[in-house]
Structure 1
Amino acid sequence: MAQDSKTYLALGDSYTIGEAVGSNETWSKVLSDKLNQRGIEIKLDKVVATTGWTTDELLNAINNDSSLQSTKYDIVSILIGVNNQYRGYGIKQYEEEFEIILQKAINLAGKKTNKVFVVSIPDYGVTPFAKENDKNSAIITKELKVYNRIAKNLSDEYGVRFFDITPISLKAIWDTAYIAEDKLHPSAKMYAEWAEYMEAGVFQLLND
């Protein structure tokens, strides 16, 4: 049975654009491909993400993108915050700005909270980059847990689905195949596992 094509907006940073992997290997593209295979005609219509972006930079991009002011999407994803932690920004700033991003995402989804989902921040403390740059992996893990707890609590408060992919990111501890050649970002293999983990849940959201 033919369906109208659904549109997907992905908001985030380097993890969303898939730094160091091909454009067809990002988790958002793989996820949309999987959903198409499941019979949902969906297109990754727009990606608002840049390597290094913090919550305030993503907010500025959303506010300054005129095409977003008149467009509504069938599904919207958010993955943001790692650069706030990396730069040592205050937790309060993340909490306040993440909530605004969440509100804007809901508006972009036609004010439907069940058409937005949040993805947790992976733990880059286990990467070769962290080790080679003398980053304290224990501190990174501890701080990212706080960030992810905030994101989950706000998602729950707004009735938005939260996918915790952080445990998958820990596979890089024993298998370098999960890390891209830059020794920091996830590889296509890891992104594929993220997409597989989220597939059923996002399929459900699109069918609600």
Structure 2
Amino acid sequence: MSGSLRYLALGDSYTIGEGVAPEERWPTQLAAMLRARGIGVADPEIVATTGWTTDELDAGIDAAAPRGPYTLVSLLIGVNNQYRGRPADEYRAQFRALLRRAIGFAGGDAGRVVVLSIPDWGVTPFAEGRDRAQIAHEIDAFNAINRDAARELGARWVDVAPASRLAPSAVVGDGLHPSAEQYRDWAVLAFPEALAALGAN
């Protein structure tokens, strides 16, 4: 469904919605919620691929060459950095660079950018046999980085990690990626910040 307000969603499997239908992706559900509120937001333009790390998303943005300005931009990235054992300092530098790009796509208005935290995949069936406590610790450390960057640069931040920890079985057939219902929970959490970003709260 189209609308006059453009929305760019940047990320990885959690944004492209691995294992769910296109309309069940959380950014698409968020856009539908906004339209139901009477706000003419188009379905998101998505730059995301399953497995992407921060540097891969950066290259993916180069390849897709989205053309701003967008009224709303979302950014959710970093789980694959953590999964691959990439260092936190690298994530900090690359995430801040991506957030600055996102702000640029929002016409330089950081208040129109919504950052989501990384969910905790360590609670899922896929993580059986792994050190779940260590995964949680590393996810928390990465989320502190994206939270602090969002606050420092003036973007909005939404924490979906607690919701992911409350719904360990709300996953698709691979035992890892969130179900449509869990994505709806994320969209509900992001909704107030998206309203504020659009000046409609």
Q: TM-score, normalised by structure 2?
A: 0.95
Q: Output aligned runs, 1:7-156, within 5 Å.
A: 7-66=6-65, 68=66, 70-131=67-128, 134-156=129-151
Pairwise CA distance, 1:199: 1.1
Task: Please name the residue that 1:197 is paired with.
Answer: 189
Partner SS for 1:58: helix
Task: Please name the residue that 2:4 is paired with.
Answer: 5
User: Which stretches of structure 1, 4 residues or more, deviate above 4 A after TM superposition?
Assistant: none
Partner SS for 2:130: coil
Pairwise CA distance, 1:170: 0.8
Residue 162 in 1 paired to residue 154 in 2?
Answer: no
Pairwise CA distance, 1:171: 1.6
Q: Find the aligned partners of 1:9 and 1:135 in 2 and give their Cα distance.
A: 34
Computed over aligned residues only, the root mean square deviation of the Cα atoms, in angstroms, reads 1.2
Which amino acid in structure 2 is aligned with residue 107 of structure 1?
G
Unaligned runs of 5+ in 1: none
- Number of matched pairs: 198
Structure 1 stretch displaced more, 113-122 or 70-79: 70-79
CA contact (8 A) 2:7 2:70 kept: yes
Pairwise CA distance, 1:182: 1.1
Q: Find the aligned partners of 1:57 and 1:128 in 2 and give their Cα distance.
A: 26
Pairwise CA distance, 1:62: 1.3
Partner SS for 1:88: coil
Q: Find the aligned partners of 2:79 and 2:117 in 1 and give their Cα distance.
A: 10
Match of 1:184 among 150, 165, 176: 176
Which amino acid in structure 2 is aligned with residue 156 of structure 1?
R
Partner SS for 1:207: coil
Which amino acid in structure 2 is aligned with residue 44 of structure 1?
D
CA radius of gyration, larger in: 1
Partner SS for 2:139: helix
Which amino acid in structure 1 is aligned with residue 33 of structure 2?
K
Partner SS for 2:6: strand
Q: TM-score, normalised by structure 1?
A: 0.92
Task: Please name the residue that 1:171 is paired with.
Answer: 166
Pairwise CA distance, 1:45: 3.7
Q: Matched residues, percent identical?
A: 44
CA contact (8 A) 2:47 2:64 kept: no
Which amino acid in structure 2 is aligned with residue 207 of structure 1?
G
Residues 121-174 of structure 1: CA deviation (Å, up to 9, x unaligned): 00000000000xx2211110000000000000010000110000111001224x
